[in-house]
């Protein structure tokens, strides 16, 4: 695919933050997708573990030919949320996109998202949610099918949230990044709820921004899924939500305003 190559000397417009641990091949594929599809000035920050030698070796080779690739190395594994926050705090781009290492960015996703986010009609929009493929069938707010692949954006009690998305670095800073009380699964919806409630801005689906998500399940991922219910309960408790269906965005917004 022909696409404009960003100048390496340009200040990055977008920072990609990708935490990764012991999945060098998946991370390499994710990085390839960014190289192949992103035409605006950008930087990529990978947050990795010192003892993960395959990943360190792969990134060392890539960094020799990519001035915009940065590797933030943790001494020990601190978990997804803290790793993502470390990467976001190191970001210098005007906008931040957080990806998982088992994702592939599809063509024109970033350009389409930037065009939508900067539209005059979207001055009250703080975050855009990328459509991603998933096995999840519940809490789907919108879905589209492209080349026989189903992509979705999900919601929390009717309010759109971004599993993968884009927001300004200023907004991430203002809202305190991800809440580190979450293990993994609650951090994304919680941040979007902060955009809705604390910043008073909307989160919208962006149909032009697609992400393929392998949802890779290795032994580590299978173990971490046990924390999903805990994160969900913590999310509901934080925002004063019942664990039964609220049913609409209006109901959730009213629930947040009144504290329950």
Question: Does the pLDDT value for residue 165 go beyond 50?
Answer: yes
Q: Is position 140 within any domain?
A: yes
The per-residue pLDDT for range 152-162, each reduced to its tens digit, is 999 998 999 99
Question: Does the pLDDT value for residue 95 go beyond 60?
Answer: yes
Q: Is position 43 within any domain?
A: yes
Question: Does the pLDDT value for residue 38 go beyond 60?
Answer: yes
- DSSP element (H, E) containing 195: helix 187-197
3-state class of 158 per DSSP?
A: coil
State in Å, rounded, how far the first CA of the chain is from the last one: 50
CA 89 to the chain's CA centroid: 14
The pLDDT, as a whole number, for residue 40 is: 97
Q: Is position 91 within any domain?
A: yes
Question: Does the pLDDT value for residue 256 go beyond 70?
Answer: no
- Are the C-beta atoms of residues 133 and 209 closer than 8 Å to each other? no
Q: How far apart are CA 189 and CA 183, in angstroms?
A: 13
Domain that holds residue 99: 14-238
Q: Against a cut of 0.85, is the pTM above it? A: yes
Q: How confident is the model at residue 169 (pLDDT cuts 50, 70, 90)?
A: very high
Q: Is position 229 within any domain?
A: yes
The CATH number that applies at residue 121 is: 3.90.550.10
Q: Is position 228 within any domain?
A: yes
Q: Is position 245 within any domain?
A: no
- DSSP element (H, E) containing 71: strand 69-74
Nearest to residue 195, comparing CAs of 161, 157, 222, 227?
Answer: 161
The pLDDT, as a whole number, for residue 137 is: 84
Q: Is position 100 within any domain?
A: yes
Tally helices (H) and strands (E) across the chain: 9, 11
**Apex 151 CA angle, 149 and 152, nearest 5:** 155
The pLDDT, as a whole number, for residue 255 is: 41
Pairing mode, strands 165-168 and 95-98: antiparallel
Report residue 38 as tokens: 């992103």
Q: How far apart are CA 148 and CA 175, in angstroms?
A: 37
Number of domains in the chain: 1
Q: Is position 186 within any domain?
A: yes
The pLDDT, as a whole number, for residue 76 is: 86
As a whole number, the mean pLDDT across the chain is: 88
- Are the C-beta atoms of residues 83 and 74 closer than 8 Å to each other? yes
The pLDDT, as a whole number, for residue 226 is: 66
- Integer CA distances (angstroms), 51 to 90, 190, 218, in order: 21, 31, 19
246 or 181, which is more confident?
A: 181
Question: Does the pLDDT value for residue 81 go beyond 90?
Answer: yes
Report residue 15 as tokens: 């920072």
């Amino acid at each position: 695919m022909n696409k404009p190559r960003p100048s390496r000397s340009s200040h990055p417009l977008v920072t990609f933050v990708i935490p990764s641990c012991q999945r060098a091949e998946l991370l390499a594929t994710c990085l390839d997708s960014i190289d192949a599809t992103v035409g605006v000035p950008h930087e990529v920050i990978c947050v990795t573990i010192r003892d993960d030698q395959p990943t360190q070796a792969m990134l060392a080779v890539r960094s020799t030919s990519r001035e915009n690739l940065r590797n933030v190395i943790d001494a020990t594994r601190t978990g997804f949320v803290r790793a993502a926050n470390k990467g976001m705090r190191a970001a210098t781009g005007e906008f931040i996109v957080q990806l998982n290492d088992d994702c592939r960015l599809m063509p024109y996703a970033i350009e389409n998202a930037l065009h939508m986010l900067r539209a005059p009609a979207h001055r009250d929009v703080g975050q855009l949610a990328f459509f991603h493929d998933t096995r999840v069938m519940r809490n789907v707010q919108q879905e589209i099918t492209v080349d026989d692949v189903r992509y979705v954006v999900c919601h929390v009690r009717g309010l759109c949230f971004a599993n993968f998305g884009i927001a300004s670095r200023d907004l991430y800073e203002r809202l305190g990044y991800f809440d580190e009380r979450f293990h993994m699964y609650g951090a994304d919806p919680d941040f979007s709820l902060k955009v809705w409630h604390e910043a008073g801005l909307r989160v919208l689906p962006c149909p032009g921004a697609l992400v393929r998500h392998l949802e890779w399940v290795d032994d580590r991922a299978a173990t971490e899924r046990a924390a999903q219910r805990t994160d969900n309960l913590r999310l509901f408790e934080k925002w004063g939500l019942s664990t039964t269906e609220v049913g609409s965005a209006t109901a959730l917004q009213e629930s947040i305003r009144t504290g329950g």
